[in-house]
């Protein structure tokens, strides 16, 4: 049976994104043992080539997400996801327009929050592999980033969310998606390490 393919018009874009993802994860220092195992699984997935960046790849595909912090770093922005009814960080599938995983995560965070002027730390804070219903059942190899909102940012609910909310890192809402809580500590650490390095 032939494997999934990338549309020829998108091949160059996915090739660039695939090369970026491979280089980024090859050089990344994992933030936890679980993240290290997920990173290694994702690098093995990337051996399939650029198709691993596309949601068409049923064995699994790379996604990008972001934990958005307010300008003071004292609150995180989560969305109540319309499809599975849990609070989760912002993010989703890579698209043909994305040249890098950082760009994909920033695009998703901007689209889903409605906030302009977000700044992103280009170093991942986590990698997580989890089952999803894409293509009748697949795996998301999710690469996560820390994102900082500008002062006075006001969120706007997108079509994919039932609700958006700001929460203190030590009082997250329920029901919470399983992999979200593990993002808080490395996101806050990234902010403390280099707040001025977060760039558009």
- State the sign of the Cα–Cα–Cα–Cα dihedral 102, 105, 107, 113: negative
Is residue 3 a part of any domain in this protein? no
Residue 2 covered by a domain? no
16 located within any domain = yes
Largest CA distance in the chain: 53
Report d(CA 124, CA 122) in Å as an integer. Answer: 6
Answer whether residue 56 is part of any domain: yes
pLDDT at position 1: 37
C-alpha span between 101 and 107 (Å, rounded): 10
Task: Check residue 3 and give its pLDDT.
Answer: 44
* Element containing residue 167 per DSSP (H, E): strand 161-167
Cβ–Cβ under 8 Å, residues 42 and 62:
yes
Angle, in degrees to the nearest 10, between helices 33-46 and 11-26: 150
pLDDT of residue 178: 85
Q: Domains in the chain: how many in total?
A: 1
CA distances from 135 to 1, 3, 47, 61 (A): 16, 13, 20, 11
Cβ burial of 46 (10 Å; 0-12, 13-18, 19+) is: buried
Question: Does residue 114 lie within any of the structural domains?
Answer: yes
Please state whether the predicted TM-score (pTM) of the whole model is above 0.75: yes
Question: Could you tell me the mean pLDDT of each successive run of 10 residues in the chain, 200 residues long?
Answer: 45 84 98 97 96 92 96 94 87 94 97 95 96 84 96 88 92 93 94 61
Cβ contacts of 196 within 8 Å, gap of 6 or more: none
Q: What is the distance between the alpha carbons of residues 186 and 189, in angstroms, rounded to a whole number?
A: 5
Domain that holds residue 136: 8-197
Asked whether residue 41 is assigned to any structural domain, the reply reads yes
d(CA 97, CA 124): 20
- The CATH number of whichever domain residue 180 belongs to comes to 3.90.79.10
């Amino acid at each position: 049976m032939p494997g999934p393919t990338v549309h020829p018009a998108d091949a160059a874009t996915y090739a660039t994104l695939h090369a970026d993802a491979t280089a980024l994860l090859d050089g990344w220092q994992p933030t936890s043992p679980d993240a290290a195992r997920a990173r290694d699984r994702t690098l093995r997935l990337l051996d399939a080539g650029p198709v691993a960046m596309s949601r068409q790849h049923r064995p699994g595909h790379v996604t990008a997400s972001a934990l958005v912090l307010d300008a003071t770093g004292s609150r995180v922005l989560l969305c109540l996801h319309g499809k599975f009814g849990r609070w989760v960080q912002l993010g989703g599938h890579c698209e043909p327009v994305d040249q890098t995983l950082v760009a994909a995560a920033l695009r998703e965070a901007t689209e889903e929050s409605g906030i302009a002027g977000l700044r992103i730390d280009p170093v991942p804070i986590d990698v997580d592999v989890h089952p999803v219903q894409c293509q009748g059942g697949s795996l998301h190899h999710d690469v996560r980033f820390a994102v900082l909102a500008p002062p006075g940012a006001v969120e706007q609910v997108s079509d994919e969310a039932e609700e958006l909310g700001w929460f203190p890192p030590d009082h997250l809402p329920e029901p919470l998606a399983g992999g979200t809580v593990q993002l808080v500590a490395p996101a806050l650490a990234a902010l403390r390490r280099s707040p001025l390095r977060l760039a558009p």
